[in-house]
Amino acid sequence: MYQAHLIISGNVQGVGFRQYVKWAARKIGVSGVVWNRKDLKVEAILQGKKGKVSTVIKLIKKGPPISKVQAVDVAWEKASEQFDGFNVVK
């Protein structure tokens, strides 16, 4: 299993971005979590097969139509815990 830690910047809060990430992850079969940061960025952890995680990252870089993704910083790391499904943190 692979894990990617993402920090997404741009117009990504208040535009349904976290729900989009959840939709993409569930559609592809990736588990993890996504949340808003105080600095107006979105942070996510994705877990799964490397190809599937990479596919979700590609979708995140596009984002939903109302958003504008400027950058996606990706750090591949060793999984410290395993997520059950995909969740949005409020």
What is the set of active-site residues? 18, 36
24, 29, 39, 48: which is closest to 71 by C-alpha?
Answer: 39
- Beta strand 68-77 with 2-11 is antiparallel
**Helical ranges in 1-85 per DSSP H:** 17-28, 50-62
* 86 vs 35: CA distance, rounded Å: 11
